Amino acid sequence: MDGLPTCQAINLSLPAELFPSGWQTALARAPRIVLKPLPVQNPPPATINVPLRQPAIRTFGFTFPELPAADLGVLDTQPKRPSQRAAVEEKSNNAKRTTRIKPPQDIIKLQDRLYYVLQPPLEALTGELRFPFQPFPYQLEGIAFLFPRHAAILADEMGLGKTMQAITAIRLLLHARELRRVLLICPKPLVTNWKREFQLWAPEIPVGVIEGNQARRNWQWQQPATPVLLANYELLVRDYQIAVNEGLHFDLVLLDEAQRIKNRHSATSQVTRSIRRTRSWALTGTPVENSPEDLVGIFEFLSPGHLSSNMKARRMGLAARDYILRRRKEEVLTDLPPKMFRDAELDLTPEQWISYREAEEHGVVRLTQMGDELTIQHVFELVLRLKQICNFDPAEGSSSKLERLRADLEEVIASGQKAIVFSQWVDSLKRIRTALQPLPVLEYHGKIPARKRDQVIDQFRDDPSCHLMLMSYGAGSVGLNLQFCRYVFLFDRWWNPAVEDQAINRAHRIGASGPVTVTRMMTINTIEEHIDQVLQEKRELFETIFSVAGTPASAGLNQDEIFGLFNLRMPPRKPRSAA
């Protein structure tokens, strides 16, 4: 047993004694269990009532007139051409440019504002109509501008299609039954042009022309079934009593070349303002020809009292802003062929110089001697006299301008192009014609009977042997489309650059076949150069003043400036004798 531990027994029984506590017996006794009900004292758990009431929803709503798809047979009810429909869909689908009608600020009622806001884009509205060609986006904006307005001036630069925009806006409003009777007033030479444009852009709309003898005109004025009546300013003044008759009301009166009413005291202005009407629109490329007062005159027709003569220029611009839409070619027609100016600064011929100096010296001396008797007419006569000498020498007939014109025309004719020559005087035009013989030359001026003028334009456009047309500013500066012409010559300068611009834009407009070259002829060191400087300064001044409203920068000469051409001062006005 080596190596094993040895075991030893130990007694672990320890002595224990019970103490007499008295519990031992109790421990041996079976416990007695007594059940006793105890009520729960705590309150039930709290609950919160969360109301889920339906939200109170307040609504407001408007209903609008129900427009039939085809009204009076004027809508194009034929199925749309696939290309047309595709174009409209394409625009909408690709979220391309859409033109929306926006209510002007002078529409106050929400319902009326929403009526315009909720109209479909113009692309969709015009998609229902047929057009000879798709309007430009800026033209759609012009239509959207006119559509909701009760007073508006569309003052786009010449050649941007004011006529088309006005016709399309009228067309849409006639279809929408917002118009039923329209009176369109324009200068007499433009009546046929407007008629032609309506046939082109709104062939379904009947147009009546106020013309003929008094009895016939009386009858024409009273024809309620003709949606569009066309009248010229001269006839309107003659038919004053009928036009302002209480029973005669027009939904729209549209004035073309609205600068005709810039003088609010003129008979034309007073008659147009007296015609009962709901809407008043004005078209003009030159809302400000000479001074901001011109704009006040036009607004007397649109919204009497909205502008006043004593307004500061900036305030006037802000007040007029919502009523005027004015775009320039360079802003909207980026793909229009360029218009290039050449200033032909010429020296007078020796004969012209002799005549000019003599007339100037005598004239100025005479004006100075007149003292307080001097009037603007006297100064004006001298200016005209000197300007005429700058065109042609009165004695010998020599002309540095004619020499230059002859040289330039050779180039024009050789290239097969056409040219227009503008002058202030019919006499100068006739001298040019005589000097250019045997070249076939057409004339378009106040001495050409109105009935023959369209024929002249047609011949100029269609006859390849006719390269030259002589036009007066007065007859040829507005409303004519001569975009087939690539050359314009300003043989003498008009008093107002705006009128010159209008003349130039007969050729430089939509559809122009190529660049238009404008040659401005001016004899140096003469009254022509002096006038040009004054007008240039004034143009810059107006550009500053009217930048707020976007109105055009164009201004002619006022009385002070005409006196200033000869360093003369305007004599103080004589007090009027009591009547």
Partner 1 sequence: MPSTRKPNSVPSVGFLTVVDSGGGSFLGGYLVLNASGRPLEFQCTAPVKANRAQEILYGPTLHPYLWGEQIGGALISKSRTRPLFVCTDQSHTLAVRAAVDLPVIQVLPAAKPSGGAPPKHNITATSSAEPAERLTLGRYSCALSGSHLTDRATVERAWKTHLDDLHLREPFERIREAITEAQRTAAGPASGAAA
The answer to whether 544 contacts partner 1 (rule: CB under 8 A) is no
The answer to whether 73 contacts partner 1 (rule: CB under 8 A) is no
The answer to whether 105 contacts partner 1 (rule: CB under 8 A) is yes
Q: Which of residues 124, 370, 448, 534 is near partner 1 by CB under 8 A? A: 124
The answer to whether 287 contacts partner 1 (rule: CB under 8 A) is no
Structural contact between residues 100 and 143, judged by C-beta atoms closer than 8 angstroms = no
CB of 77 to partner 1, least distance (A): 12
The interface with partner 1 within residues 163-202 (CB under 8 A) comprises 178
403 sits in the region (left: phi over 0; alpha: psi -120 to 50; else beta) called alpha
User: Which is nearer to partner 1, 178 or 543 (by Cβ)?
Assistant: 178
Instruction: For residue 249, give Cα distances in angstroms to 207, 223, 243.
Output: 17, 12, 9
Pick from 468, 467, 504: which is nearest to 488 by CA? 504
Q: Which of residues 114, 311, 359, 565 is near partner 1 by CB under 8 A? A: 114
Which one of 101-109, 198-206, 234-242, 491-499 is the stretch in contact with partner 1 (CB under 8 A)?
101-109
The answer to whether 119 contacts partner 1 (rule: CB under 8 A) is yes
User: Which is nearer to partner 1, 63 or 369 (by Cβ)?
Assistant: 63
User: Which is nearer to partner 1, 211 or 322 (by Cβ)?
Assistant: 322
Pick from 282, 268, 273: which is nearest to 237 by CA? 268
Pick from 541, 536, 441: which is nearest to 497 by CA? 536
Which one of 12-20, 112-120, 201-209, 471-479 is the stretch in contact with partner 1 (CB under 8 A)?
112-120
The answer to whether 65 contacts partner 1 (rule: CB under 8 A) is yes
**Spatial distance between the Cα atoms of 192 and 232, rounded to a whole number of angstroms:** 11
The answer to whether 120 contacts partner 1 (rule: CB under 8 A) is yes
Q: Which of residues 42, 93, 213, 377 is near partner 1 by CB under 8 A? A: 93
User: Which is nearer to partner 1, 66 or 335 (by Cβ)?
Assistant: 66
Q: Which of residues 24, 81, 97, 118 is near partner 1 by CB under 8 A? A: 118
567 sits in the region (left: phi over 0; alpha: psi -120 to 50; else beta) called left
Ordered DSSP codes for 354-412: HHHHHHHHHHHHHHHHHGGG--HHHHHHHHHHHHHHHHS-TTT---HHHHHHHHHHHHH
Amino acid in the structure at residue 258: A
Report the 10 Å Cβ neighbour count for 195: 16
Which one of 12-20, 48-56, 255-263, 391-399 is the stretch in contact with partner 1 (CB under 8 A)?
48-56
User: Which is nearer to partner 1, 80 or 238 (by Cβ)?
Assistant: 80
The answer to whether 46 contacts partner 1 (rule: CB under 8 A) is no
**Spatial distance between the Cα atoms of 323 and 139, rounded to a whole number of angstroms:** 17
Amino acid in the structure at residue 459: Q
**Spatial distance between the Cα atoms of 526 and 360, rounded to a whole number of angstroms:** 10
The helix or strand, by DSSP H or E, that contains position 184, with its residue range, turns out to be strand 182-186
Which one of 55-63, 134-142, 325-333, 476-484 is the stretch in contact with partner 1 (CB under 8 A)?
55-63
CB of 322 to partner 1, least distance (A): 9
The interface with partner 1 within residues 301-360 (CB under 8 A) comprises none
| Cis amide bond preceding 224, omega within 30 | no
Which one of 102-110, 304-312, 389-397, 398-406 is the stretch in contact with partner 1 (CB under 8 A)?
102-110
CB of 305 to partner 1, least distance (A): 19
User: Which is nearer to partner 1, 181 or 401 (by Cβ)?
Assistant: 181
The answer to whether 55 contacts partner 1 (rule: CB under 8 A) is yes
Over 235-280, what HEC string results? HHHHCHHHHCCCCCCEEEEEECCHHHHCCCCCHHHHHHHHCCEEEE
Q: Give the footprint of partner 1 on this chain (CB under 8 A).
A: 50-52, 54-55, 57-69, 80, 85, 89, 92-94, 98, 100, 103, 105, 108, 110-115, 117-121, 124, 128, 178
